[in-house]
Chain A
Amino acid sequence: MRKENVVFISISVLLTSALAVVVYFSQAWSLAAMEQQQLFMYDWGYLTDLLKRGGIGLITARFAVQFFVNPVASSCITALLLGGSAWMLWRTVSRFVSIPEFYPLCWTPSLVVACLLRVPEASFLPVTRLFLASLLLVLASSAFKPKSRSETSTFHIFAASTIGCAVLIAFLTIYPKVANPAYDELCRLEYLTINERYEELIDNVPKRALSPGELNYVNHALAETGRLGDELFSVRQNSPFGLFTYADGYENMPLSAHVLYSMGDMAAAEEVAFNAFQAKYGYNPSMLKLLSKVEMMRGCHETASKYLDLLSKSLYYRKWAKQYLHHLQDGSPVEEIERGSRNMHGDDGYLVMSVSLFSDLVNIVRTNPSDVKAAEYALSFLLLAKDFTGVRDFIAEFWGKPCLLRLPKHAQEALVFFYDYFHTMDESYAASLGIDHQTYSDYLSTDFLWCCNHGLEKETIDRFEQFKSSSSMNGFRNTFWYYLLYEKID
């Protein structure tokens, strides 16, 4: 093998490895989101349909994307494909123009494609990037054009390649972050959610103020780990929208479906999932899983098996689907399905999302008084709406039922505040706030003993006393009291 070829191969391997690392740190989550836009099925009908629509190229692409479920695999596959394309382009170009400085130019298309992977809806950006990238490379190549090929060609190859590609990689890394900074974070949260890696999600919450969408993911993770009632304010909240923001576009629909499912609002989750399961390039696997489970809860096994059969034709979801198909066939109970089923046996005239999501939650808890998650979500809605009177009413209705055998920490904070607020308010001031005598008397009936009998613990009482006497709020930022008094609701 010629020395020059060895050098080029070495550079290509190095660049491909570097690209894999760059892709991993800059794009692994958006690639994982791409995986959710299709369900690659090992099914003759599906493959022939792909073949008809896009030939071998489409099948190869869809085949590769199924492995994007693993961020390391997605980065390696992407880098290998792009590095391989660059190498083949260079081999082709070098047959016609044997100028080594063209080597970096051959990386341009691959790097531009890598850049575009991050852009959800590519429009004019690709053209601009292609132009800029090509221009930079040509400039880099021409700047190092050798006077005598024999003397300095190796050095020039290295120099041109390094400078050109360093500029492009920097561009690749920095520019998309400027163009779409929130996208990667949402993709990361979505990935952790659909893979049920809730602890990891909670442990790595950014310190900055979170958008409603990001808060939906974090609060969902808290709910799934049973920590919503105690740790809601461990993250800076700004409104009830942090619990649920209704999907206003396809991208947000899976999140809405996950959250509604977690709340136990199975019919509403199904409503959203019906719209979300048809993704950009096929079926959304996580939505198919959700639909399968809801159909099982309904007892519609025929329809559930339709969805499960689709999933069982895939590589990654086969095991999960087979497990649920097994449950379908032998009728063995699945705890998750059992829980949801209970929520689907209430008032047959109740329409979800027609009044408010909070009404749905109360309806769910009334139908299924053992649904702790739904109760925690309902209490959290009231807390985030700063409705401490509503918290008192909720506790009055549900305390002692299986869903509320222990009062979550933040609900205790709201209850003690309620007690303190109305017991230190004189009736004339209450009247000036529009509180009539009967209501005022009702509020006063929630006395200290009532609070203690409804889950208020000594630790919360002591902490509240400290809060009232403290001059600094630093130690109380993770409390309902701080949120109530100092956070402005959006």
Chain B
Amino acid sequence: MKRSISAILAVLSLCACSTSLPETFSDACAAELFPDYSYVTIPDNIAPLNFNVTEDCEACMVEIGGKIIKARHGLVSFNRGWWKKTIAKTDSLSLTVYSRKGREWVRHEPFTIRISHDPIDSYLSFRLIPPGYQGWNELGLYQRCLETFRETPILENRLTDGNCLNCHTLNNRDPETFLFHSRASFGGTYMLMNGESKVVNTKTDSTAATRYAYWHPNGRFIAYSVNDTQQNFFASNPDRIEVYDNSSDVVIYDVEKGAMFWSEQIRSKDSFETYPVFTPDGKNLIFCSAKAVAGLPESFREVKYSLCMIAFDPLTGSLGEKVDTLFSAPRTGLSVAFPKVSPDGKHVVFVVQDHGSFAIWHKDSDLWSIELPSGEAKPMIELNSSDGESWHTWSDNSCWLAFGSRRDDGLFTKVYISHVDENGNASKPFLMPQKDPLRFYHDCMNSYNLPEFMTGPVAVRQKAIARTLKHASPEATTLRSESQ
């Protein structure tokens, strides 16, 4: 018996091909890779950064940290256990790609991947939606564990008669306190607060259904925008679509009282206000505001949003009188959207574009940041591309910024992640890893919409969420003057 086992092992060991580096090779420039992970900074808890060598070659292998990995059909795939162990104990990985065409091996210019020991939030939530939609045949909210490749649905709209689901928003990245809107059949805002769920009808006699939301850090208030949004296709513009608001306002919802309130500074007939966010200390409300423009959609280029800030008292739920301008559209001739304040309160990152507020369809949209409290604004050059950058989210430790970008094909938004140091300097972003990234992203017919970091997974099962949406009677919203 022992002999047989030994014989089998011997045969197996002979059969097992031990990969070794080629003995002779010539040197060449950097290899073409997808995604381009060269010189990126990654967290030490990220899933393996598998990549594809897209060089025109017959075989290739990669040397990384003394290990040689043979690519299968160009795919360099790392063992998860090895990857986890390796990146936990090093600050940098050096990779060298070898490729063979005919009998000639080529050694490509090595590159490094820097490892940051600032951990990234373990989950990212997003909506998957086909680009360019007006209807919504098939979409859903999903969560992706960034430490693995596991992607699971939070709610797919096949469970809710194919309706639209949008604007999922978490309070401080907490998966136990979040909301999203459900449209058409089962219309209402689904809210999960510390494990308890309900549906709220945020429409009132004075305000239409709410759209973009942001939780106050104390969980009692939610700032909403109320938008009358339309979209039109361009006949011959690379931007393809212009999404614009015929009108928009910012209102605040008191979760405890189920009441809506506002002041004329955030809800004015003469201006469009949108994208409200609270500062992490909860004492200010930041929002975008543009002078109202008539004659839309033809006059869409005249709509330019400034970044504004108003004081907010969380104890009384009252807004200040004075509106400060953090970034002025009239002065710069530019328009801002999607402001997000880092959890440490040091930086506001937002999108800057020529006009309008819907950056997803603007190829010129770039990420900018303002340092607080100095107010100095600058473009985040490392993050921007020739195509559009849009929705972004800060990690809990303010060290990572995930954002949507169309840089790869100009149409399908993908999630890129970048490290941001304490001075607000961003590193070269890396594409959210996948098992087989080239195949995955090429076959993916959806955009990654509204990425939001989460400190853990949403624990409520999607069937339970669907049941609540279908059967719970939506709570009515009153106006604060009526509720008091």
Contact = CB atoms under 8 A, between A and B. Distances in A.
B is bound to A: yes
B12 to A, nearest CB: 28
Interface string A277-318: 110000100000000000100101011001001100000000
A302 B409 contact: yes
A265 B234 CA distance: 10
**Most B CB within 10 A of own CB, among A283, A298, A306:** A306
Contacts of B411: 295, 300, 303
Contact of B235 (A45, A250, A277, A351): A351
Nearest to B440: A45
B408 A302 contact: yes
B135 A250 contact: yes
Contacts of A347: 235-236
Interface in B313-356: none
Contacts of A211: none
B134 A275 contact: yes
Nearest to B443: A45
A336 interface: no
A199 B301 CA distance: 46
A75 B300 CA distance: 53
A376 interface: no
Interface residues of B, number: 31
Interface string B395-423: 00000000000001111100000000000
A377 to B, nearest CB: 15
Interface stretch (A57-65, A94-102, A237-245, A352-360): A352-360
A350 B237 CA distance: 8
B236 A271 contact: no
B19 interface: no
B165 to A, nearest CB: 15
A241 to B, nearest CB: 21
A267 B241 CA distance: 9
Contacts of A267: 233-236, 240
A9 B134 CA distance: 53
Given A303-B410, A306-B409, A349-B301, A275 B236 contact: no
B233 A271 contact: yes
A350 B439 contact: no
A144 interface: no
Interface stretch (A201-209, A326-334, A338-346, A389-397): A338-346
B133 A274 contact: yes
A319 to B, nearest CB: 21
B152 to A, nearest CB: 14
A214 interface: no
Interface in B30-61: none
**Most A CB within 10 A of own CB, among B133, B135, B298:** B135
A278 B137 CA distance: 7
A352 B235 contact: yes
Nearest to A267: B233
A231 B404 CA distance: 51
B176 interface: no
A270 interface: yes
Contact of A351 (B134, B242, B410, B412): B242
Contacts of A45: 439, 443
A153 interface: no
A325 to B, nearest CB: 13
A446 interface: no
**Most B CB within 10 A of own CB, among A277, A350, A367:** A350
A380 B175 CA distance: 57
A34 interface: no
Contact of A353 (B232, B236, B410): B232
Contacts of A275: 132-135, 137
A271 B409 CA distance: 18
A375 B240 CA distance: 24
Interface in A216-251: 250
Contacts of A265: 235
A367 B443 contact: no
A268 interface: yes
Interface string A5-31: 000000000000000000000000000
B234 A300 contact: no
A366 to B, nearest CB: 11
Contacts of A162: none
A128 B73 CA distance: 55
B236 A348 contact: yes
Contacts of B443: 45, 309-310
A165 B233 CA distance: 54
Nearest to A249: B135
B130 interface: yes
Nearest to A346: B236
Interface string B432-463: 00000001001101000000000000000000
A45 B436 CA distance: 12
A241 B457 CA distance: 51
A363 interface: yes
A343 B235 contact: yes
Contact of B233 (A270, A310, A345, A363): A270
Nearest to A265: B235
B110 interface: no
A267 B231 CA distance: 13
B63 interface: no
Nearest to B139: A278
Contact of B410 (A250, A302, A360): A302
Interface string A352-390: 111000001001100100000000000000000000000
B74 to A, nearest CB: 16
A266 B237 CA distance: 12
Contacts of B300: 349, 351
B131 interface: yes
A277 B130 contact: yes
A354 B232 CA distance: 7
Nearest to A291: B132
A204 B131 CA distance: 38
A350 B236 contact: yes
A274 B139 CA distance: 14
A360 B439 CA distance: 38
Nearest to A345: B236
Given A270-B132, A278-B130, A306-B409, A350 B234 contact: yes
B138 interface: yes
Interface string B283-305: 00000000000000110110000
A268 B241 CA distance: 10
A274 B134 CA distance: 8
A342 to B, nearest CB: 10
B410 A300 contact: yes
Interface in B235-262: 235-238, 240-242
A310 B444 CA distance: 10
B418 to A, nearest CB: 23
Given A271-B233, A275-B137, A309-B442, A303 B297 contact: no
A318 to B, nearest CB: 16
A330 B471 CA distance: 57
27 contacts: A45-B439, A267-B235, A270-B132, A270-B240, A271-B241, A274-B130, A275-B132, A275-B137, A278-B130, A278-B137, A295-B411, A302-B408, A303-B409, A303-B411, A303-B412, A306-B445, A310-B445, A344-B235, A344-B236, A346-B236, A347-B236, A348-B234, A348-B238, A351-B297, A351-B298, A363-B235, A367-B236
Given A250-B135, A310-B445, 15 more contacts: A265-B235, A267-B240, A275-B132, A275-B137, A277-B130, A295-B411, A300-B410, A303-B410, A343-B236, A348-B237, A348-B238, A351-B233, A351-B297, A354-B298, A367-B236
Interface of B: 130-135, 137-138, 232-238, 240-242, 297-298, 300-301, 408-412, 439, 442-443, 445
Interface of A: 45, 250, 265-268, 270-271, 274-275, 277-278, 283, 295, 298, 300, 302-303, 306, 309-310, 343-354, 360, 363-364, 367
Closest 8 CB pairs of A and B: A274-B132, A351-B232, A302-B409, A348-B237, A350-B235, A267-B233, A344-B236, A278-B137
